[in-house]
A and B are shown apart, each in its own frame.
Chain A
Amino acid sequence: MENSEKTELVLLACGSFNPITNMHLRLFELAKDYMNGTGKYKVIKGIISPVGDAYKKKGLISAHHRVIMAELATKNSKWVEVDTWESLQKEWTETAKVLRHHQEKLEASICDLQQNSPVLQKPGRKRKWAEQKQDFSEKKSLEQTKTKGVPKVKLLCGADFLESFGVPNLWKSEDITKILGDYGLICITRAGNDAQKFIYESDVLWKHQNNIHLVNEWITNDISSTKIRRALRRGQSIRYLVPDLVQEYIEKHNLYSSESEERNVGVVLAPLQRNTTEVKA
């Protein structure tokens, strides 16, 4: 398939990034290789969106630091960047809203581009119905456009994310539908069979299975942020598990300790709080 027919993709990863690790960064690389490899997509950007402090997860240190660490980690990346919109919101923001924010942002910038460039059409050319329908989002000029329409945002995640859909009150069912239906998931998993089974056993996942791309991670890569924080508390080295700049930043600012791990203990996680409150109401 030529470049002109490929759908441009932006990969969005939401999460605590507490701290960001080499494993998080690998997710982007694996997803990009996979989606580009299908021949149907062209991955143009990766976005890391650290969650806001209002999420109230245990051990979550301030967004300020988490954003800086993510920026240090992506300093040497040509295509992955950090976005602070979500972290700057005063209240916790559902993932579906973050996806929508980024999709709208993309559409707005495409519109700006199109308004500035002339759209030429052959006079008298009979336009097919399909073309007319697509005209709104795909104004093709006679000059070759590189790809098909507005880039699409897809949510990049690990298998634990997929399984979290099953946790009661963590997700609103309409949000799950939006995420899967309007956007789509790229899920990096070590145990592909478990993920497939999980999809099979869930009606909503099953319905949208074509929008869930499972990508296998062949390397047993267990660099979880939880383990990083534990290693730091025990005075153990985290070198080569996180980018050097991140390791230096953590050390310089003494970010993780037994005290920081006690943050938000006893506090209800924001989505649980919100979803149970609304149910009661």
Chain B
Amino acid sequence: MILPLEHLLVIEDSRVAEAARVDVSDRMKSRIPVVLLACGSFNPITNMHLRLFEVARDHLHQTGRYQVIGGIISPVNDNYGKKDLVPARHRVAMARLALQTSDWIRVDSWESEQAQWMETIKVLRHHHSELLRSLPRMEDPDQGSASSPTSAAVPELKLLCGADILKTFQTPNLWKDTHIQEIVEKFGLVCVTRAGHDPKGYVLDSPILHRYQDKIHLAREPVQNEISATYVRWALSRGQSVKYLLPDAVISYIREHDLYLRDASPERNEGLPTQGGPTSSFPTTSS
């Protein structure tokens, strides 16, 4: 969104707005192009997933150093083995529907189509090489006819995630240390805050993260909106409305394909009240 001139004259927030939105060609040339990659179940995709991208983009633009040129949603492989995971073809289709109206984010099914589950680092490496392959080639005088992408134009691929994922780096044996290092050192992380998480703390507590803290961008979501996919699945299995939590097109798809109908057991929904459902409320009110 390009702000009209009169808004630039307003002192309040103008510098921020200018950095984020104004199309100044000089600035553009020196900004590092970035593509954001989000890995996850997307089971199903929700408005909150989509928000992560918007918040991350705003944050990176605000630093003045980056220009976000694309976003990729990579739904996890079915062999990940997470409970209640609906087949990848559905999760990919739903993400595609959700992104119909986005002009910069797309879904990629490569990860979900592999024979087995693969570590996030492999997905990052794959998309990074794809990114390099798709760049316009420039003649390199030193190497004769061989061509290489200009270093100034090479986009950086960054892993986009919520603060809860950052915390999982601490879980023993969940991530390989060498992978964590490669993720932050070679690619970089954009981490969007979530309620109940202290991402700064996670970074300081981890030697690897601490060392590469300048490659970890902590973006603050100004409008807290905690739409957990777990909650959405629970609501769907109870016949409750999820309208305005997910795009309408995704809801239609879920209904057409009878997804998420089975009521998940309480153990699968930690943190949610076990006495749930439409008729439970507070004892003092009439029902």
Contacts and interface: CB of A to CB of B under 8 A. Distances in A.
Contact of B279 (A25, A26, A39, A214): A39
A26 B51 CA distance: 17
Interface residues of B, number: 47
Nearest to A215: B281
B86 interface: no
B225 A222 contact: yes
B39 interface: no
A233 B224 contact: no
B129 interface: no
Contacts of B242: 29
Interface in A20-64: 22, 25-26, 29-30, 32-34, 36-40
Contacts of B96: none
Contact of B223 (A76, A210, A227, A259): A227
A209 interface: yes
Interface stretch (B54-62, B139-147, B155-163, B178-186): B54-62
Interface in A180-219: 192, 196, 199, 209-216, 218-219
A240 B48 CA distance: 8
Given A196-B282, A235-B3, A240-B51, A29 B223 contact: no
Interface string B1-30: 101100100101100110011000000000
A233 B10 CA distance: 10
A261 to B, nearest CB: 9
A26 B245 contact: yes
A37 B13 contact: no
Interface in B56-82: 57-58
B83 interface: no
A254 B195 CA distance: 31
B4 A254 contact: yes
Interface in A111-142: none
B7 to A, nearest CB: 6
A37 B239 CA distance: 10
Given A37-B278, A237-B55, A237-B57, A219 B12 contact: no
A231 B273 CA distance: 33
Given A26-B244, A213-B281, A239 B50 contact: yes
Prevailing SS type, chain B contact patch: loop
A107 to B, nearest CB: 23
Interface in B210-241: 222-228, 231, 240-241
A228 interface: yes
Interface in B262-287: 272-273, 277-279, 281-282, 284-287
Contacts of A258: 7, 10, 12-13
Contacts of B101: 244
A193 to B, nearest CB: 8
Interface of A: 22, 25-26, 29-30, 32-34, 36-40, 76-77, 192, 196, 199, 209-216, 218-224, 227-228, 230-231, 233-241, 243-244, 251, 254, 257-259
Interface of B: 1, 3-4, 7, 10, 12-13, 16-17, 20-21, 47-48, 50-51, 54-55, 57-58, 101, 195, 222-228, 231, 240-245, 248, 272-273, 277-279, 281-282, 284-287
18 contacts: A29-B241, A29-B242, A29-B243, A32-B241, A33-B241, A33-B278, A40-B287, A216-B282, A220-B226, A235-B21, A235-B58, A237-B58, A239-B50, A240-B54, A241-B47, A241-B51, A241-B223, A243-B244
Given A209-B285, A221-B227, A240-B48, 18 more contacts: A22-B245, A25-B243, A34-B281, A37-B277, A38-B287, A213-B285, A219-B227, A220-B225, A222-B225, A233-B12, A234-B20, A235-B3, A235-B13, A236-B222, A239-B50, A240-B54, A241-B51, A258-B12
